[in-house]
Amino acid sequence: MNEQNLHELEEKSIYIMREARSKFDNLAALWSMGKDSTAMLGIARKAFMGKIPFPVIHIDNGIDFPESYKFRDELAKKWGMKLIVAKSEIREEMSGFSCCGSNKTDALKRIMKEHNFDGLIVSIRRDEHGIRAKERYFSPRDMHFKWDYKNQPEELWNNYSSKEKGASHLRVHPLLDWNEIDIWNFIKKNKIPMNPLYFSKHGYRYRSLGCTHCTVPIKSNAKNIDEIIKELRVTKVEERSGREQDKEKQYVMEKLRSLGYM
Amino acid sequence: MLCRDLMAAIKPQKTIREIEQLQKEPTEENWKKALKIIQKGKYYYIYYPSALKGKMSLSSAYAIIYDKSEKPIFKVPILKKTKNSIEGATSYLVGLDINRGMIK
């Protein structure tokens, strides 16, 4: 895995965050308690003098890992976050597609409307999935939260638009250029607290975190960040191979994202 | 995940009234009553039997609670029933660690 210049990545992400803060009237950030979104909040603290100056939204389907809930509440308190928990609908029998897709998107739509957010920071990276590679740093969503990936705004010379005709809000992606190992290098350098599920016990750890239904662990003996970084330097396995919704065909993921799913 | 037959073979070591009530009727009130008992456990592991192909059955899903020696103590649902709907309830297991010894 290619390790990039961390200082340059941080500088760009901080710039994007500050641009978003200045351009949007009502900005918020999504947090899943995973390493990427937690690192994103760490970058926000660097950008804004140790504070997170916007609300942080957790879309909760109620079946997350208990460790994730504990980590959420502890870190939200420690970092003084204004945490908004948006519950997504759950049914006794449902497909993973509807749980991860429409239900979470519906919860997000509800909370965006309720609070009138016009900008939303999301911690996706281009290297995670082919669909995400098509994203822009500031990416508009229409009134139905749909993403027109074939018709995206130009982003020339670090100029980003916060207003797009017909957009209900814009997604801000400060981590687009980062890869997995960069995230861990940042976490290590800045001593960012991490969800304990990432670290190995009994020969297993979680490399990518979703809810208890759609996440499976990987075989690994990496018990701390140094060991994780060492492991990532030689791995040939995709990061999200343990996520059920990513096992869908590529076009299904494209459809999910175009409908507003993260 | 282990198959349903194997899960049925894991018998709880003792039956506790609050846990029995929770298994019968996973309301918020019963979850709160059972919380103290659940927190005496050390580990959990959640099982999702499939109802139909491609679908998950949350009403059939459950968590086995284990003691510090990783012995199963009892099982609990992972849902909470409200008046008009159901909600996920894994947050009631906060404080327990996932039993990675059960991963195959």
Structural domains of chain A in order of their starting residue, each with its CATH number: 6-178+248-258 (3.40.50.620), 194-244 (no CATH)
Task: Give the best residue of A33, A65, A85 to mutate against chain B (max B CB count within 10 A).
Answer: A65
Q: How far apart are CA A241 and CA A144, in angstroms?
A: 30
Chain A residues in contact with B87 by the CB 8 A cut-off are: 62, 87, 90
Which ipTM did the prediction report? 0.85
Chain A residues in contact with B91 by the CB 8 A cut-off are: 62, 64, 66, 69
The answer to whether residue B102 scores a pLDDT higher than 50 is yes
The answer to whether residue B1 scores a pLDDT higher than 50 is no
The answer to whether residue B8 scores a pLDDT higher than 60 is no
Our CA angle for B43, B52, A130, nearest 5°, is 80
Q: Which of A122, A166, A143, A168 is nearest to A262 (CA)?
A: A122
Higher pLDDT, B53 or A137: A137
Nearest-by-Cβ selection for B88 from A67, A70, A90: A90
Tell which B residues from 29 to 58 touch A, by Cβ distance under 8 Å.
44, 46, 48, 51-52, 54-58
Q: What pLDDT, on the 0 to 100 scale, is given for residue B58? A: 78
The answer to whether residue B91 scores a pLDDT higher than 70 is yes
Task: Phi first, then psi: give them for residue B75, nearest 5 degrees.
Answer: -120, 150
Are A66 and B93 inside 8 Å of each other by CB?
yes
Chain A residues in contact with B98 by the CB 8 A cut-off are: 65-67, 197
**What SS3 state is found at A85?**
strand
Nearest-by-Cβ selection for B78 from A60, A63, A201: A63
Q: How far apart are CA A95 and CA B53, in angstroms?
A: 9
Residues of chain A with pLDDT under 70: 1, 92-102, 240-262
**Domain assignment of residue B45, given as a range:** 4-102
Read off the pLDDT band of B2 (50, 70, 90).
very low
Are B97 and A61 inside 8 Å of each other by CB?
no
Q: How far apart are CA A129 and CA A238, in angstroms?
A: 9
From residue A72, give the alpha-carbon distance in Å to each of A83, A194, A242: 9, 10, 22
Q: Provide the shortest C-alpha distance from residue A152 to chain B (in Å).
A: 34
Are B88 and A62 inside 8 Å of each other by CB?
yes
Chain B residues in contact with A203 by the CB 8 A cut-off are: 100
Chain A residues in contact with B93 by the CB 8 A cut-off are: 66
State which H helix or E strand residue B65 sits in: strand B62-66
Quick one: closest CA in A to B100, which residue?
A202
B69 vs A: CB within 8 A: no
Are B59 and A92 inside 8 Å of each other by CB?
yes
In tens, the pLDDT along B60-79 reads 899 999 999 999 999 999 99
Number of domains in chain B: 1
Contact criterion met (CB below 8 Å) for A85 and A104: no
Q: What pLDDT, on the 0 to 100 scale, is given for residue A245? A: 54
Q: How far apart are CA A216 and CA A239, in angstroms?
A: 12
Q: What pLDDT, on the 0 to 100 scale, is given for residue A258? A: 65
Chain A residues in contact with B103 by the CB 8 A cut-off are: 202, 204, 217
Size of interface A-B (CB pairs under 8 A): 85
Nearest-by-Cβ selection for B90 from A65, A92, A95: A65
